[in-house]
Amino acid sequence: MPAIFPRWTNNIPLAIAILAPIFGAGLVGGVWYYFSPKFTDAGYRPIQPVAFSHKLHAGDMGMDCRYCHNTVERAAHAAIPPTQTCMNCHSQVKTDSPKLAPIRESYESGKSVPWIRVHQLPDYAFFDHRPHLAAGVGCVSCHGRIDQMTVVQMDQPLSMSWCLDCHRNPEPNLRPLDQITNMGWDPATEDYDPKADPARKRALTPPEHCSGCHR
């Protein structure tokens, strides 16, 4: 009777024994990379190429978030402002500051400043700012008191359970639609009933099913 499996298949168990730990290590490495603090841990606070302070600009000077993050209500992602936005003021203000040298260089060369991403979900999770802002969830609920930060840090874990905690019961996080960028407006101390707000036209249904966020 002829052999059903060619002779080389005898080597398969050996090949598996050799390759499995290599693939295993790759998998562990991949998982470790994806779930490492950079992506998901609250407190992540990289040093940026320019010492830009939200406390100074958004806090003390009271600039609205949307002056710089101007796409946040129109696109899934909030744009990081181009150098031109900084130069609207810094072509006149603090023009000799060494802290602003990289901004002036970027303006002259046309190369954007290499800002380091602070918040980043893994590719397999879908997030869009628009439905959240349209529902009256404020920036502060997800990003913390950015207006008090001299260096941006991640305030919330951005984990799946964090998303779901709010999706199961969004009400305590809702505010009037014109207060989404007001960092001082605190739902816990304000007397606000979303159900009685005439500006709200429908009941909210944040997704809890897997395909809502894994598309």
Token output for 8: 């080389």
Contact between 129 and ligand HEC (CB under 6 A)?
Answer: yes
Which of the stretches 10-18, 20-28, 187-195, 199-207 binds ligand HEC when contact is defined by CB under 6 A?
199-207
Secondary structure letter of residue 174 according to DSSP:
B
Contact between 147 and ligand HEC (CB under 6 A)?
Answer: yes
Start-to-end CA distance of the chain, whole Å, equals: 52
Question: Cβ 28 to ligand HEC, closest distance in Å?
Answer: 14
Contact between 213 and ligand HEC (CB under 6 A)?
Answer: yes
Between 9 and 36, CB nearer to ligand HEC = 36
- Quickly tell me which residue has 């295993």 as its tokens: 24
Nearest one of 186, 178, 197 to 141, comparing CA atoms = 186
Question: Cβ 22 to ligand HEC, closest distance in Å?
Answer: 23
Q: Using CB under 6 A, which of 42, 50, 104, 153 touches ligand HEC?
A: 50
Contact between 44 and ligand HEC (CB under 6 A)?
Answer: no
Contact between 42 and ligand HEC (CB under 6 A)?
Answer: no
Token output for 59: 């806090």
Residues 72-111 that bind ligand HEC (CB under 6 A): 72, 77-78, 80-81, 85-86, 88-90, 93-94, 97, 99-100, 103
Describe the crossing of helices 101-109 and 83-90 by its angle, rounded to 10 degrees: 120
CA angle 76, 41, 129 (to 5 degrees): 15
Q: Using CB under 6 A, which of 84, 114, 126, 186 touches ligand HEC?
A: 126
Cα 162 from Cα 160, distance rounded (Å): 5
